[in-house]
């Protein structure tokens, strides 16, 4: 990304406070400030003080910023959190970090949020403005007399979004970022998947987006070529260390592994992917007991990198390989370390058969599998990674859906030997419908000998985008078209005797927006229509699921 000429950020207002002057804090609140810094101050070591400031960005918009400074004159390394939760949401991170040393701490409301200036963004789904705002904030910090010129950004979930985007700014003072269980790009990893609106889209209320249920489907055009150009530029000589964590059932999908794949070869990127959802409170799946990785280098810590105690060079991804939870001797259930993602594998098609099976050979005959889809009665979401609330996320058994006629179940023969996969799954379907547009959902399932149907991954795609997100087009009734799409990444071992399951439907609610089977967005539920969906299987229409098989 070519850097814009920077206006020197200006300190617009400064109110100095400490534990002995609570009246100043009340004055800030009376003037419109929403952040009670004294609550954070009480959690910090004795002697810390704080200042509220307004820091101007390059376009003149001033962002509400609070600094917590240790006793003395410094200079100190600085810990930064830029949070959409009105500054209160990120202050908890300072407590544990400052217990280990003296650091300047800065917390800031993004533009249009909390006490910061700025109107709601014209495109609140697009978080690219956080790149420039992070740069300007870091630039201001680095010029302060209390700064030693070393800055680190951290935060989890929503608090980590800006930290992930800051990595792309390449400010020379930004030593390390640590976005935990988070994602920077709010369009691709928060709001939509393969162009389909996700439940997590509703979180974007935090970004001043007015969410409504209708019209449906939600159509959003994102400039992916522009995003890819930003990534390409950010990958050039990026000296910032990236420390990330994720889970195979986390709400942010492939954000962490995609970042590693892009930046790991040329940068200093360290990712840990666990067998988790977005917090234990929402993980209702089977529990994987993941053992340690043999021979893995220790992951660097945020403070050690910030302080310059360690200078990591070689990128590493440490990822959980899921396995049979009923057999302690089964392969899998371990962590593996790799300098690249995905690891070496062979993309292997498992072809759908007209009889409901999966085969390594394409069908020699012609057939199709049909199923109904009524948007008034969508298939309920059951597991996966769609929510941050107290919902059934994780590796959840799919048998409660067994009697639904709108769920197609394709199942392999029992495996003669274990099968390990690691990388991105891909669906390659030949479909038709009597609707002008519709949705297809694909699930990858590990079917145990005792009948458990454990969900590993789920993904959705709209038929209108079959030729590309920049070339939407309606379906012609009865015409067969190819719908190929990514189904997210996973690392797992199907144990001997297990069967591979591929379940296909046209809804998973509320994980994905219920599609009304219309091309023009429907204004209300009254305009929804039922449809008959067809999956075509033949030598010229070899519908398949492509798995990244590790040899």
Delimit the domains of the chain by residue range.
346-549
Task: Give the length of the chain.
Answer: 551
Nearest one of 292, 296, 104, 262 to 185, comparing CA atoms:
262
Task: Give the separation between CA 549 and CA 423, rounded to whole angstroms.
Answer: 8
Three-state DSSP state, 306: helix
Please state which of the ranges 32-46, 224-238, 264-278, 320-334 shows the lowest mean pLDDT: 32-46
Residue 164 CA to residue 533 CA, distance in Å, equals 40
DSSP annotation of 278 reads S
Reported as a single tens digit per residue, the pLDDT across 96-149 is 999 999 999 999 999 988 899 998 777 878 999 999 999 999 999 999 999 999
Return the pLDDT at 10.
Answer: 36
Q: pTM higher than 0.85 for the full model?
A: yes
Question: Given this model, what pLDDT does residue 33 score?
Answer: 62
- CA atoms of 217 and 191, how far apart (whole Å): 13
Note whether 486 and 224 are within 8 A (CB): no
Report the 10 Å Cβ neighbour count for 374: 15
Taking alpha carbons only, the member of 421, 451, 272, 396 closest to residue 332 is 421
What pLDDT score does 36 carry? 81
Per-residue pLDDT, 29: 42
Cα separation, 353 vs 341, in Å, equals: 31
Beta bridge partner(s), residue 509: 380
Average pLDDT, whole number, for the chain?
91
Number of H helices, E strands in the chain: 8, 25
- Residue 211: its H or E element: none
Alpha-carbon gap, residue 151 to 482, rounded angstroms: 48
Pair of tokens at residue 288: 């994987």
Q: CA torsion, points 429, 432, 438, 442, in degrees to nearest 10?
A: -30
Q: Which of 35-49, 54-68, 372-386 has the lowest average pLDDT?
A: 35-49
Is residue 1's pLDDT more than 60?
Answer: no
Residues 168 and 184 sit within 8 Å (Cβ to Cβ): yes
CA distance 341 to 386: 24
> How buried is residue 226: exposed, middle or buried, by Cβ count under 10 Å (0-12/13-18/19+)?
exposed
The pairing of beta strand 104-108 with beta strand 147-156: unpaired
Q: Give tens-digit pLDDT for 245-271.
A: 999 999 997 999 999 999 999 999 999
Two tokens at 220? 């959003």
Identify the residue whose tokens are 């935090």.
Answer: 206
Report the pLDDT averaged over residues 325-329.
95
What pLDDT sits at residue 203? Answer: 86
| pLDDT of 221 strictly over 90 | yes
Predicted confidence (pLDDT) per residue in 286-324, tens digit: 999 999 988 788 899 999 999 999 999 899 999 999 999
Evaluate if residue 343 carries a pLDDT over 90: yes
d(CA 250, CA 233): 28
Predicted confidence (pLDDT) at residue 73 exceeds the cutoff of 70: yes
Strand partners of residue 209: none
CATH number at 346-549: 2.60.120.260
> What Cα–Cα distance (Å) separates residue 4 from each residue in 12, 126, 131, 509?
22, 19, 11, 43
What is the per-residue pLDDT across 515-539, written as a single tens digit (0 to 9) for each? 999 999 999 999 999 999 999 999 9
Place of tokens 């988790």: 276
Q: At what angle do helices 255-263 and 224-234 cross, to 10 degrees?
A: 50
Q: Is the pLDDT of residue 348 over 80?
A: yes
Whether cis (ω within 30° of 0) applies to the bond prior to 342 is yes
């Amino acid at each position: 990304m070519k850097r814009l000429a920077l206006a020197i950020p200006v300190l617009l207002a400064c109110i100095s406070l400490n534990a002995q002057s609570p009246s100043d804090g009340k004055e800030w609140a009376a003037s419109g400030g929403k952040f009670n810094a004294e609550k954070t101050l009480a959690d910090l070591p004795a002697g810390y003080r704080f200042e509220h400031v307004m820091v101007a960005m390059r376009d003149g918009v001033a962002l509400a910023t609070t600094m917590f400074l240790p006793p003395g004159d410094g200079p100190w390394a600085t810990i930064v959190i830029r949070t959409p939760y009105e500054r209160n949401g990120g202050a908890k991170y300072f407590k544990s970090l400052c217990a280990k040393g003296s650091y300047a701490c800065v917390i800031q409301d993004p533009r249009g949020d909390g006490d910061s200036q700025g109107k709601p963004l014209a495109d609140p789904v697009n978080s690219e403005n956080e790149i420039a705002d992070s740069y300007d904030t870091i630039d201001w910090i680095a010029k302060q007399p209390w700064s030693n010129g070393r800055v680190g950004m951290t935060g989890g979930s929503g608090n980590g979004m800006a930290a992930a985007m800051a990595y792309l700014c390449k400010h020379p003072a930004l030593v390390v970022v640590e976005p935990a269980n988070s994602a920077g790009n709010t369009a691709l990893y928060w709001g939509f998947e393969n162009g389909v609106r996700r439940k997590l889209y509703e979180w974007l209320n935090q970004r001043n987006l007015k969410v409504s249920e209708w019209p449906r489907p939600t159509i959003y055009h994102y400039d992916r070529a522009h995003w890819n150009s930003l990534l390409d530029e950010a990958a050039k000589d990026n000296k910032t260390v990236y420390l990330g964590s994720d889970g195979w059932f986390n709400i942010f999908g492939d954000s962490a592994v995609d970042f590693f794949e892009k930046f790991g070869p040329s940068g200093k990127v360290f990712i840990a992917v666990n067998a988790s959802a977005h917090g234990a409170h929402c993980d209702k799946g089977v529990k994987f007991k993941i053992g340690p990785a043999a021979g893995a280098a220790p992951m660097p810590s945020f403070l050690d990198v910030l302080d310059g105690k360690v200078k990591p060079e070689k990128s590493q991804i440490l990822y959980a390989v899921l396995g049979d939870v009923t057999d302690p001797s089964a392969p899998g259930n371990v962590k593996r370390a790799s300098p690249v993602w995905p690891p070496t594998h062979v993309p292997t098609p498992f072809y759908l058969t007209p009889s409901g099976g999966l085969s390594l050979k394409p069908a020699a005959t012609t057939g199709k599998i049909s199923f109904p889809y009524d948007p008034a009665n969508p298939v309920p979401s059951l597991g996966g990674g769609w929510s941050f609330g107290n919902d059934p996320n994780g590796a959840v058994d799919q048998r409660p859906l067994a009697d639904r006629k709108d769920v197609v179940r394709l199942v392999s023969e029992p495996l003669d030997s274990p099968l390990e996969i690691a990388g991105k799954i891909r669906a390659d379907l030949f479909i038709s419908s009597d609707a002008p547009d519709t949705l297809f959902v694909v699930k990858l399932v590990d079917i145990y000998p005792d009948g458990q149907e454990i969900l590993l991954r789920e993904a959705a795609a709209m038929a209108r985008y079959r030729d590309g997100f920049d070339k939407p087009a309606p379906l012609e009734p009865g015409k067969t078209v190819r719908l190929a799409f990514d189904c997210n990444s996973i690392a797992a071992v199907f144990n001997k005797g297990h069967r591979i399951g591929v379940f296909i439907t046209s809804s998973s609610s509320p994980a994905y927006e219920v599609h009304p089977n219309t091309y023009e967005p429907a204004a209300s539920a009254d305009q929804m229509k039922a449809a008959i969906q067809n999956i075509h299987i033949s030598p010229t229409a070899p519908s398949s699921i492509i798995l990244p098989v590790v040899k």
